[in-house]
Amino acid sequence: MKTVFLAFLAISSVLSERVSYDGYKVLRTQYLNMTTSKALQSLQLEDDFDFWQDPVIGRSADIMASPQMLPELQQLLSKHGIHYTVMIEDVEALTQSQMKPRNKLDAGFDWEDYQGHDEINAFIEGLASSNSEWISIKNIGQSHEGRDMKVIEITKAGPGKPIAWIEAGIHAREWIASATATFMINELVNNYEENKAIVDNLNIHFLPMANPDGYEYSRNSDRMWRKNRNRDNKAAGEKACVGTDLNRNWAYHWGESGVSDNPCSDIYCGKGPFSEMESTNIKNYVEALSPVPVLGHCIHSYSQLWLWPYGYDYNALPDNWQEIKKLAEDAADALYQVHGTVFDPINSADLYPASGASDDWYRGGLKTRYAFTTELRDTGRYGFQLPASQIIPSGEELFAGMKVVFEKLIADDMAGK
C-alpha cells in the first residue's frame, strides 16, 4: 500500500509541475521576402521552435526558442541573412507576472483578471437563469478530458431571424480571446437597452471556450500550450505526443497547406478532418442550426488583424469576397475609433496559407454568408501574455467592430438578402 501511495504522489507531482520558460526568448525577424519567408516556413514544420507569428512575406516573424536551441536559431537566421531583435527577453518573467494567486473568495465575475473554464460556464449560466425567456445554454458535448462545452444562445429576435455564430478560445494560450467573448456577451445581455436594436433583430450564439482542456492546461501547467489535450493522436510508427491544433482540423481543404503531420508539432492537423471531439462538437451544433448562420466568426490572438477567407491557398476567394472584404474594412475602422488600435483587414492566405481552419469551413463548408477571424491585441510586446488590464479595452474595441458586422447582418435580412 505504501508503494502505491508513493507512486501516486510521484505521479501527482509530475502532473502538477508547471512548465518553466526560464531563459526562453522571443526573437522578432526583420520583414521577410519570398526567400526568407520560405526558409522559415520550412523551419516551422519542425518541432524545435515555437512560431508566435507565422513567417509571411512583408511581415516579421516572432519565434520563441529555449536557451539550448537559441544558438541554433540565431545561426539559422544568420545563415539566411535574416536580421532580428529580441522581442521578449525573458518569457518566464512575463509568465510569472500573470500567475498571481486568484482570490476565490471574491464574489462575481469581472474582467479584471482571466477567468477559468468553470467560472466562464457559471457566468453564462447565470445570465441564462436571469433572462430565461430569451437566453438559453446548450451543452454541445464534452472535450477529450470530459469538460462541458457550453454555448450561450441569445435569441430574443425569435425563430427565423438570422443567426450569428461566434467561437473563441480554440487555441489554448490565447486567453484574451475567451475573455473578450465574455465581455461582448455581457454587453449584449446586461446592457440590453443600449444594444436592443441588435438583440431584437439578430440571434447570436457564442461558444466562449472552444478548447477547454488546452485552456486549463495553459493556466495550470504550460502557459504556452496551443493545442487540445488528445493523448490518442499517434498514428502507426509515429512518435507519441499530446494534442492536435484544433484550428487545422476542419474538413474544408484539410491538410493541404500550413500544417504538419507530426503529432509533436504545434500545427499538427490530426489524423483526419474532425478527428477531434471539440471540432466535431462544434460542427454538429452549427450544422443543426436553422436557418444556417449568416456569420461564422472566430476570435484569436495576437497581431491585430481582421482576416477574411479563404486561408487555405493564395487567390482562393469566396464568390462574395468583395462584400466580405468591405465589411472587414468597415469593422476595423469602427474598432479604431474606440482606442486608436489599428487592425489590418486582410485575406487570410495573404498572411500565410493554412488549411483546415474553422473560418474557412464556416464559409466553404457550412456556407455562411460571412466569415472572419479576428486576431486581437497586441502586436508583440506581450504576445500571447496580454496583461489582464487590457481585457476591457480589448472588449470595448472588438465589440465596436462587431456591432458594425451585426448591423450589416440585420440590414441584409431586412433587404431580403
Question: Active-site residues: which are they?
Answer: 375
C-alpha 289/C-alpha 284 separation (Å) is 9
Three-class DSSP category at 393: helix
Residues 142 and 198: beta-carbon distance below 8 Å: no
C-alpha distances (whole Å) from 168 to each of 14, 133, 201, 387 are 30, 25, 23, 18
Q: Where are any strands of DSSP class E within 190-267? A: 203-207
* DSSP character string of 153-189: EE-TT-TTS-EEEEEE--STT-HHHHHHHHHHHHHHH
Rg, the chain, Cα only:
21
Number of Cβ within 10 Å of residue 58's Cβ equals 11
Residues 277 and 390: beta-carbon distance below 8 Å: no
Q: How many angstroms from the chain centroid is the CA of residue 248?
A: 12
Which residues are within 8 A (CB) of 363 and not within 5 positions of it... i.e. 6 or more apart?
Answer: 296, 309, 310, 318, 370, 371
C-alpha distances (whole Å) from 193 to each of 157, 199, 305 are 14, 9, 30
Tallying the residues shown for the chain, one arrives at 417
Phi, psi of 347 (to 5 degrees): -70, 140
**Position of cell 496583461?**
387
